[in-house]
Structure 1
């Protein structure tokens, strides 16, 4: 009877240990790949990220949005002229300089609208240059490596009782699902940011048409702030990855495999949280009054 119980116990142990090793093997590969891809993705300009989407957005902006921006520009500058005249004591104190001022502002507004695409892309070129320099300075290995911890793990697991082994198997299964969820979160942040950039730049001529207006100028200024926030969000993302890389470097020195894995999960969750926060942080920096 004891022989059967021991044989069944050994069989269950082998099954649980095999399941645990299978769950842990390659668990962090997808996250490592996605984290390594972050620096490449955020360091690209809208044109470099996807040329086909870039050309489509540029075509939409120039053929559909610019005519609308022209109409808005005419309205804003006409309103600006009316306000300049009315402000001077109901036409009793009208100076010729105000018309030169209005002509200059109108010419500047037209120049801004006709060169909106170059201005917008210039913002992202500057941001990309900053990100490239930052990546070169703080670049480090952000991959999670627990191979040294797992070297003699199978032997140690076989020495454990069935109860703790079953608990470890459940934990390894849950951690595997969690890492896939974190992989998806990182994907959403990085690719969602680029899609947001394309959406924001597609309507750029409309807010830029209001830049020279006295009352409407705030729309254009806020748009430029949000544009800089989007561009330099990539810099904050690079800093987040650099901090994450420093944190995970000490994982391989852990003696407790489960503690090491849960530490990895905690760091990755922290990375995802900070990546989500970079958008609001960059906007808070550039839009603070």
Structure 2
């Protein structure tokens, strides 16, 4: 319900959007791809994965032959038992990776989700705390006359715009993680087929590392949210009430936006951070 003051209502609307997106992130981060949006997207991805598996089997032979040609000086070398066994064991393992790649990837995701749940439980947070406009700030704004409120409109519009943009950037980053999970799952048979040849196996290794990094992004995002909740536990301080109302509101919004930038920046760099910390490329 509105307060009757346009400036207060505008700020409350922007903060409500921020709180809504934080709550959505907290829910999304513990959601599996099978449950996301009712599972309809996952069913389509599985159909694509199954269709590309046939291409993966064809590529197995291609990568296998290319690997044999590049690693063996001649076919007489392939007649050596140890070389032949090693080569065909690699082919069998690559075939298993293509056939059971989805199960392996879901196991990796389950491990990462287990880490996310452990972090959430250890933090003691059941949800992100809401950010609200302090009563003192509401009183300062409501006591301002019409002429003095004109600069407040500009300050409020600018601050609300920043909060809206940061909210959208934050939630888009979390949604992009699901898109990356879906795309990696769909094309998995093709890079996994590269394990059939020794020279091309680096493609499969890079794919597994990238998929592990995507899974572990969830841990970094939830850690960023937890750290932010402690960092911003105390609301921005209200400046000296002897100052102009526009200055007080500007100082408050500036500190609030800075706190939000810290969280959005941490979420945005979660992908790069997990790759650097885990050496995943």
Q: TM-score, normalised by structure 2?
A: 0.85
- Residue in 2 aligned with 1:53? 41
Which one of the candidate residues 47, 50, 66 is aligned to 1:62? 50
Mapped to 2, the partners of 1:246 and 1:77 lie a distance apart of: 53
Q: RMSD in angstroms over aligned alpha carbons?
A: 2.4
Q: Any residues of structure 2 matched to 1:7-86 within 5 Å, and which?
A: 18-50=5-37, 51-63=39-51, 65-86=52-73
Change in 2 beyond 3 A, CA 1:55/1:144: same
CA distance in 2, matches of 1:191, 1:227: 16
Counterpart for residue 131 of structure 2:
144
Match of 2:191 among 207, 212, 218: 207
State the TM-score, normalizing by the size of structure 1: 0.83
Distance 1:129 1:122, change over 3 A: same
Find the aligned partners of 1:270 and 1:53 in 2 and give their Cα distance.
32
> Separation in 1 of the partners of 2:142 and 2:102?
62
Segment of structure 1 superposing worse, 54-63 or 25-34: 25-34
Instruction: Determine whether 1:99 maps to 2:84.
Output: yes
What's the counterpart of residue 9 of structure 1? none
Instruction: Please give the alpha-carbon distance, in whole angstroms, between the structure 2 residues aligned to 1:247 and 1:162.
Output: 36
Structure label with greater radius of gyration = 1
Q: CA deviation at 1:233?
A: 0.6
2:144 is equivalent to residue 167 of structure 1: no
Provide, for residues 68-100 of structure 1, a one-character-per-residue CA deviation record: whole Å limited to 9, x for no partner: 11111111112333345426xx73795222212
Aligned to 1:269: 261
| Contact 1:229–1:285 (Cα < 8 Å) also in 2 | no
Aligned length: 267
- Over residues 162-208 of structure 1, what are the superposed CA-to-partner deviations in whole Å (9 max), with x where a residue is unaligned? 35x32222101211222222222122111122112111211001111
1:279 to 2:271 alignment:
yes
Q: Point out where structure 2 has 5 or more consecutive residues left out of the alignment.
A: 240-247
Task: Quote the offset at 1:288 in angstroms.
Answer: 5.0
